Amino acid sequence: MSMLKLALGPVLYYWPRLTMFEFYQQVAESPVDIVYLGEVVCSRRHELRLPDWLDIAALLRDAGKEVVLSTQALIESGAELTTMRKLCEHRDFLVEANDFGAVRNLEGAGFIAGPHLNIYSEPTLAVLARQGARRWVAPLEMDRTAIATLLKTQPAGMESEVFAWGRMPLAFSARCMTARNRNLPKDDCQFSCIDYPDGLIMDTREQKAFLVLNGIQTQSALCCNLVRVMPEMADMGINVLRISPQSRDTLEVVAAFDKVRRGEWQAPHAAVMLEPLAPGGSCDGFWYGQPGMERVA
């Protein structure tokens, strides 16, 4: 059983430029093995441009991290296609494909098949392997039984990754729900997302946090927390766990996952320690084949 690798997912929110640079300075010194970079939600966000991302990528690579550039999940316009192609052509770094347009542009490139490609079964994973995927990320809603089944038959040399911490990116829309909240059209959104470093909470009319509006993306209000099942995931043969950045305590979360994989902390202890760091409380339902918002363990 080899040690689980820790990956930091792309920042899903719109943080100010300086915050981003400071964040990745700290990430460079953290125990994560893999860092996903880039704007995956909305092409209107522009605090960082491609040269900035490449600077950060170089910094992290020099710190010994595996750097992956992530493509936008919902690509509609010609400009968005151009951005995606630029990332795919950039063969200095690995790329995570988050739609099949990117998969087409990454043929033979040894890419990461992202969580939004809907890889639920062996024949589809085989198609992606043939295209050049070297790692696949399980869909958010995939349960442990299905993941275990797919792991048994995955192509030789293929790595697997599971989303293990963070508010889950559950849906994408052409409509911007954050701009809608301010009665602004998307084309004149005034970059409202920058005011919500962890997204905008959407409560039910009983004041129960249900979802989080993050521009065109909708997330879970609860934080997926699978630290408790790390030993099980290692036994299953999962290679990489993804931690999704949040505005506070991300590196504390990374540290806790790191302690568990090194055997310094027991997983149940880490789960207790991490509970206060889970924005909105934690859930793990998807892992157990239950509604994602439920907490089983």
Partner 1 sequence: MIELVCPAGSLPALKAAVDNGADSVYLGFRDATNARNFAGLNFDEAAIAEGIRYAHQRGRKVLLALNTYPQAANWQLWREAVDRAAGAGIDAIILADPGLMEYARNKHPGLRLHLSVQGSATNYEAINFYHEQFGISRAVLPRVLSMQQVEHLIRHVKTEIEVFGFGSLCVMVEGRCALSSYATGESPNTAGVCSPAKAIRWQQTPKGLESRLNGVLIDRYQPDENASYPTLCKGRFEVEGETYYAIEEPASLNTMELLPQLVQMGVKAIKIEGRQRSPAYVAQVTQAWRSAIDACGDGKRRFATHPSWSAALDRVAEGQQHTLGAYHRKWK
Distant-in-sequence, close-in-space partners of 281: CB < 8 Å, separation ≥ 6: 222, 223, 275, 295
Residue nearer to partner 1 on the CB measure, 268 or 289: 289
The answer to the question of residue 210 lying near partner 1 (CB under 8 A) is yes
Burial 55-65 (b: 16+ CB within 10 A, else e): ebbebbeebeb
Residue nearer to partner 1 on the CB measure, 24 or 196: 196
- The stretch near partner 1 (CB under 8 A) out of 29-37, 77-85, 158-166, 252-260 is 77-85
The answer to the question of residue 146 lying near partner 1 (CB under 8 A) is yes
CB of 132 to partner 1, least distance (A): 13
- The stretch near partner 1 (CB under 8 A) out of 6-14, 60-68, 198-206, 257-265 is 198-206
Residue 292, number of CB atoms within 10 A of its CB: 18
The answer to the question of residue 190 lying near partner 1 (CB under 8 A) is no
> For residues 200, 205, 206 and 209, what is the CA-based torsion angle, rounded to 10 degrees?
-20
The answer to the question of residue 80 lying near partner 1 (CB under 8 A) is yes
The answer to the question of residue 81 lying near partner 1 (CB under 8 A) is yes
Which of 94, 102, 164, 193 binds partner 1 (CB under 8 A)? It is: 102
- The stretch near partner 1 (CB under 8 A) out of 21-29, 36-44, 180-188, 230-238 is 180-188
- What is the token pair recorded at 123? 């024949």
Choose among 182, 209, 238: nearest CA to 6. Answer: 238
The answer to the question of residue 103 lying near partner 1 (CB under 8 A) is yes
Cα 278 to Cα 209: distance, rounded to the nearest angstrom: 13
Residue 210, number of CB atoms within 10 A of its CB: 14
The answer to the question of residue 71 lying near partner 1 (CB under 8 A) is no
